[in-house]
Amino acid sequence: MDTVDVLVVGAGLAGLNTARLLADAGLDVAVCERRTSVGTGIRTTGIFVRRTLDDYDLPHLGPAVRRVLLYPPSHRNPVELVSGRDEFRVGDMAGIYAQAVEDARRAGAHVQLNAGYPAKSTKARFTIGADGARSTVARRLGLDVNRHLITGIEEVYPVATGSTPTFHCVVDPRLAPGYIAWVIDDGEHSHVGLAGRADRFTAPLPQLLQRFRDSFPAPAPAGPVQRRGGPIPVGGLLRRIVCQEGLLVGDAAGAVSPLTAGGLDPCLRMSELAASVTFDYLRSGNRYVLEHYDGAAMRRRYRIRSLMRRGLSMIREPGLAELAFSGLRTPLGKALAARILFT
C-alpha cells in the first residue's frame, strides 16, 4: 500500500490548487478524483470576479463583462449597472481544470482520475477533503457537513451576437426560489441557468430551465453544447473544518458566498491557507498549528451576506419581488447592488 504525506480528495479547483501548493513545498502528495476526466461533469458556470482576476493569473478566460442587467419577474424595465472596470470573465472550465492538473503534476503531485475515495490503495498522514458540497471526507473525519444547499442547473450555448457582453440576473421566485436565474453572454458563449431551493421548485429543473429560456429575450442559440449542474452550499463557512487527521477546503468546507453563491474565489484563497497550515502541521507535528484553520472565525466575514441571503430567500411571491425592485431603482438601491456585484 502506498503511503503519502497528503491525500487530496477531489480534483476541482480547490483540490488541484491545494495539491500543487503542497507538492511545490516538497510534500509527497496524491490526488484522487472519481471522475474519469476533469473536462466532464463540470459543476460551475465559471464566472470569475474582478477580485480573482486581479490576484490570480488564470488561463482560458473569455472576454470581459462590465454590464449587469437586473430583472424583476416580469422581465420588464431591468435595472442597468455598468462598471468602468472588467468585472467578470467566464472561464473555459475544461481548459482551466486541465491546466491545473498539469500544474499539480509538474509540481510533483500524483493525480489519479477514476479513483474514488475512500481508496484502499493510498494511505496518508493527512487527508484533505476537496470533494465538493456533499463531502465524504467530512463525514469520515467527523467534521461539519453542509446542510443549507441550493441546486443549480445551466446550459451553455455558442453565440456570435456582437452585442455588449452582459450578465442578466432575474429575480423570480417561481423559477429560482431563494436565488436567481441568469444568462451570461460574453459574446462567445451564453450560459443560461437557474438555481434555488430544492424544496421550493414547482417543476422538475430541466422543465423550469426550458421555461426560463423560452421566456427570456436572449439570442437564439444553436443548441446546447453542455448541460451542467449541482448543489451549492449557501449556509456559510462550516465551523469545524479541521482535525488532526485532515481538513476541508472549497465547497466541502462551505466556502461559498451565501449571497452570490460564488465559490471559485474562495476556493483559490482557502486552498492557500489550507496548504500552509497543512505544511506547518506536518513539518512541526504541533497540533496547535491547526487552530489557524478556524472555520468559526473565518465564518464571521460571511455574516452580512448570510443575512442578505435570508432576505432574498424570503421573497416567495413575484409581487414582492416586483416591489423590491422599486427599491433597487433608487440611487441607493443601485449603489448597494453595484457594491454587491462589483467587488
Ligand X SMILES: Cc1cc2nc3c(=O)[nH]c(=O)nc-3n(C[C@H](O)[C@H](O)[C@H](O)COP(=O)(O)OP(=O)(O)OC[C@H]3O[C@@H](n4cnc5c(N)ncnc54)[C@H](O)[C@@H]3O)c2cc1C
Give the residues lining the site for ligand X (CB under 6 A).
9-15, 32-35, 43-47, 116-117, 130-132, 136, 152, 154, 193, 228-230, 232, 250-251, 256, 261-265, 267
Element (H, E) at 29: strand 29-32
Of 257 and 325, CB closest to ligand X: 257
Q: Closest distance between ligand X and the C-beta of residue 69, in Å?
A: 17
Cα distances (Å, whole numbers) of residue 264 to 92, 229, 252: 13, 15, 13
Of 72 and 254, CB closest to ligand X: 254
CA angle (68, 70, 76) in 5-degree steps: 125
Of 78 and 152, CB closest to ligand X: 152
The strand pairing partners of 151, in sequence order, are 196, 231
Grid cell of 322 as nine digits: 416586483
Say if residues 109 and 22 touch (Cβ distance below 8 Å).
Answer: yes
Query: How many CA atoms does the CB half-sphere of 299 hold within 13 Å?
Result: 16
Distance CA(311)–CA(329), nearest Å, equals 18
Q: Closest distance between ligand X and the C-beta of residue 188, in Å?
A: 15
Of 50 and 174, CB closest to ligand X: 50
Helices (H), the chain: 13-24, 50-55, 93-107, 136-141, 205-215, 264-284, 295-299, 303-313, 318-328, 331-341
Of 206, 199, 215, which is closest to residue 73 (Cα–Cα)?
215
Q: Taking the CB of residue 342, how many other CB atoms lie within 10 A of it?
A: 18
Of 232 and 325, CB closest to ligand X: 232
Of 78 and 263, CB closest to ligand X: 263
Of 343, 4, 5, 337, which is closest to residue 171 (Cα–Cα)?
337
Of 239 and 269, CB closest to ligand X: 269
Say if residues 116 and 34 touch (Cβ distance below 8 Å).
Answer: yes
Q: Closest distance between ligand X and the C-beta of residue 91, in Å?
A: 9
Distance CA(160)–CA(141), nearest Å, equals 48
Q: Closest distance between ligand X and the C-beta of residue 321, in Å?
A: 21
Cα distances (Å, whole numbers) of residue 90 to 54, 93, 169, 183, 208: 14, 8, 15, 12, 23
Q: Closest distance between ligand X and the C-beta of residue 331, in Å?
A: 28
Q: Closest distance between ligand X and the C-beta of residue 286, in Å?
A: 27
Distance CA(246)–CA(115), nearest Å, equals 19
Q: Closest distance between ligand X and the C-beta of residue 270, in Å?
A: 9
Distance CA(16)–CA(145), nearest Å, equals 21
Q: Closest distance between ligand X and the C-beta of residue 151, in Å?
A: 8
Q: Closest distance between ligand X and the C-beta of residue 300, in Å?
A: 20
Using Cβ positions, the residue closest to ligand X within the complex turns out to be: 263
Of 261 and 320, CB closest to ligand X: 261
Of 208 and 232, CB closest to ligand X: 232
